[in-house]
Amino acid sequence: MARLTFEKQDRIARLLRELHLFQTVRRGLTSAELAERMGISQRQAQRDLAVLESDLGVPFVTVGRRYAIMPDFWLPPVNFTVPEALALVIGARLMWRSADRANPFAQTAYEKLAGVLPDPMRDPVLAVAVGLAEKVEDSVWVKVFAALARAWAESRKVRITYATDHTSERVVWPLFIEPTLSAHSCYLVAYDQAAREPRSFRLERIADVEVLAEGFTTPRTVALGAMLSDAWGIWTSDHPVEVVLRFAPAVARRVRETVWHRSQRVAALPDGGVEMRLTVAAPIEVRPWILGWGQACEVVAPEAFRAELAAEAAAMTAQYRQERRACPGPAPPRGRRPASHTTAGGGRRSVHAGTA
């Protein structure tokens, strides 16, 4: 399994190096020239060209035996100031920490960025590129990401196969790709043609994408900013809910110094704590964040949400009060007595020999 994963990662890295080579040699390459430059067989080069075109959506044109990429596939050069570059460096670090799988497109983008950065900024960005390459490889996700990026850029409809409890096929209009830090994932925000409304689709659950020839115009009723304005993460609702939270004095400063949500309103309490009011689309999305504060955060309203968190806290208390079942260790080898050592109280207890 490890060998198979390595081979897949190596293949994707090779495909992206080939893509960069075509960017450098704008007049194009024959399959033989590609094979020679990449150190692979001509047959492998031909297979790579087919994969670049079919899976990654690279628009090749052929002149005789030479393959070239259509000029409008490449974005024009962009110049950054040092503070602007620093903003990209911070974004790169955030992506590295939140991504749960390899993203070869981000990897090569950060390698390109590192190549033009001042020396002190270069190493952190290169570390991100290396870190992204070392994450779990998912060839289906890479294909889906590439297809959605092309369809979104060209305003073309896509047919997706979406797998949840059951698998469905639907035609959607890509409007945006939204990352969510809490879920370590990205969601496709798209207009569902059959449902006639915007919906979100987790990229990991999209099993297949077909970019259609038919284009679309974003409906006037769809405003992405307004649609996600009340979302804590990705969930949307026409009926947002006000959540009132009370924080203990010990964490009041941490709560005040961060803007957790655009709707938040924070007020000081007589005991030194703070009260926060949020208007969110789905309180369930805030739940993990609230639980992360432990007893320092109390849900005041709505009452149903408070009862839900209270039940969760009670269940956790009951779970931790139960006697923890000891995990049985490996039996000592025959003919050997378990080793022993002195405990802090002066007694002796057996310790089975084994690897850490």
At residue 95, the pLDDT reads 80
52 with 126, same domain: the answer is no
At residue 346, the pLDDT reads 42
In a domain, 174, yes or no: yes
In a domain, 333, yes or no: no
In a domain, 46, yes or no: yes
Non-local CB neighbours of 36 within 8 Å, separated by 6+ positions: none
Q: Is the pLDDT of residue 326 over 70?
A: no
In a domain, 330, yes or no: no
CATH, residue 248: 3.30.70
What pTM was estimated for this model as a whole?
0.66
At residue 350, the pLDDT reads 35
Domain boundaries, position 259: 241-321
151 with 206, same domain: the answer is yes
Residues 228-282 pLDDT 10s = 788 888 888 888 999 999 999 999 999 999 999 999 999 999 999 999 999 999 9
Q: Is the pLDDT of residue 19 over 70?
A: yes
Confidence of residue 328 (pLDDT cuts 50, 70, 90): low
- Of the candidates 250, 238, 348, the one whose C-alpha atom is nearest the C-alpha of residue 295 is 250
Residues 51-90 pLDDT 10s = 888 877 788 888 888 898 888 787 777 788 888 888 888 8
Of 73, 91, 125, the residue at which a domain comes to its end is 73
Q: Is the pLDDT of residue 354 over 50?
A: no
Of 108, 133, 158, the residue at which a domain comes to its end is 133
* Rounded average pLDDT over 321-330: 67
Higher pLDDT, 195 or 337: 195
In a domain, 341, yes or no: no
* Rounded average pLDDT over 140-166: 91
Residues of the chain above pLDDT 70, percent: 87
Strand intervals (E) in 53-93: 60-63, 66-69
In a domain, 245, yes or no: yes
Pull the structure tokens for residue 113.
Answer: 């960025």
Confidence of residue 339 (pLDDT cuts 50, 70, 90): very low
CATH, residue 144: 2.30.30
In a domain, 233, yes or no: no
Give the highest mean pLDDT range of 25-34, 38-47, 274-283, 343-352: 274-283
Domains in the chain, number:
4
CATH, residue 40: 1.10.10.10
At residue 79, the pLDDT reads 82
Give the highest mean pLDDT range of 24-28, 34-38, 99-103: 34-38
128 with 150, same domain: the answer is no
Residue type, 170: R
Distance in angstroms (rounded) separating the CA atoms of residues 148 and 177: 9
68 with 88, same domain: the answer is no
In a domain, 61, yes or no: yes
Q: Are 190 and 173 in contact (CB under 8 A)?
A: yes
- If you average pLDDT over every residue of the chain, what do you get? 82
Strand intervals (E) in 13-88: 29-30, 60-63, 66-69
At residue 174, the pLDDT reads 94
Residues 88-139 pLDDT 10s = 888 888 888 878 888 888 888 888 888 788 888 888 888 888 888 788 888 8
Give the highest mean pLDDT range of 108-117, 145-154, 343-352: 145-154
